[in-house]
């Protein structure tokens, strides 16, 4: 799509303040009973897309896959994953923040080295975070945006990367644990999934602290 002004409102606002590097950050998988939470951080190098970018939840699986590849062509991307054991230990909110932090750190490794070595780099970065709260040890400014995956192009791209990457993980788990139907529901608490848990018990990738997972 041709990036419209409203999709780039937060990016433009940041750049008007002298913040050259805008990282959109989002996660996928806070609600499921099984599997990891996956976060992505995206720093766009180009803003025009052939595929129509949107909140990943509003796109078809086929459109998300197409967008996934185009985003990697037009952005620096980092991915962070926190597994179900970590989720059970630190809780899902903290695990989501840790995954986001990991995604940002991986993104930093994708940037040109001369950019990272610039002494003023840290002052030129802002994270646009989907949601209303974020806790991190990262040395960057950040802005939380409720519903950000439907308001910011950078966050929307991060939501697509996180969703596609997590879906691929659950598709692999479906082959390992075919009795649960992970390829269909991706670990979310559907009736099919709950029935499978009642019949087969929980697996090693189920979140033991989530009601209905055991």
Whether the model pTM is above 0.85: yes
pLDDT tens sequence across 12-22 = 999 999 999 99
Angular region, 181: left φ>0, alpha ψ -120 to 50, beta rest = left
Q: Are 130 and 111 in contact (CB under 8 A)?
A: no
Task: Say what the pLDDT of residue 3 is.
Answer: 47
Residue ranges of the chain with pLDDT lower than 70?
1-5
Q: Where are the beta strands (DSSP E) in the chain?
A: 21-28, 37-44, 75-82, 125-130, 141-145
User: Could you tell me the sign of the dihedral formed by the alpha carbons of 38, 44, 46, 47, in that order?
Assistant: positive
Task: Say what the pLDDT of residue 5 is.
Answer: 55
Q: Tally Cβ neighbours within 10 Å of residue 93.
A: 15
Is 9-176 CATH 3.90.950.20? no
Angular region, 29: left φ>0, alpha ψ -120 to 50, beta rest = left
Task: Say what the pLDDT of residue 1 is.
Answer: 39
Angular region, 147: left φ>0, alpha ψ -120 to 50, beta rest = left
Task: Say what the pLDDT of residue 212 is.
Answer: 86
Task: Say what the pLDDT of residue 4 is.
Answer: 54
């Amino acid at each position: 799509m041709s990036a419209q002004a409203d999709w780039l409102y937060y990016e433009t606002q940041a750049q008007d303040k002298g913040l050259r590097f805008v990282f959109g950050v989002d996660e996928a998988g806070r609600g499921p009973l099984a599997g990891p939470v996956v976060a992505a951080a995206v720093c766009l190098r180009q803003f025009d897309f052939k595929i129509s970018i949107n909140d990943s939840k509003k796109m078809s699986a086929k459109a998300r896959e197409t967008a996934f590849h185009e985003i990697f062509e037009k952005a620096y991307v980092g991915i962070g994953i926190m597994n179900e054991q970590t989720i059970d230990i630190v809780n899902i909110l903290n695990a989501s923040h840790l995954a986001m932090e990991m995604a940002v750190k991986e993104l930093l490794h994708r940037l040109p080295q001369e950019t990272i070595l610039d002494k003023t780099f840290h002052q030129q970065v802002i994270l646009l975070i989907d949601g209303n709260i974020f806790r991190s040890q990262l040395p960057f400014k950040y802005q939380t945006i409720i519903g950000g995956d439907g308001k910011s192009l950078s966050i929307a791209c991060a939501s697509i990367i996180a969703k596609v990457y997590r879906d691929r993980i659950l598709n692999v788990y479906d082959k390992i644990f075919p009795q649960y139907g992970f390829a269909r529901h991706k670990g979310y608490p559907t009736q099919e999934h709950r029935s499978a848990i009642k019949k087969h018990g929980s697996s090693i990738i189920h979140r033991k602290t989530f009601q209905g997972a055991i």
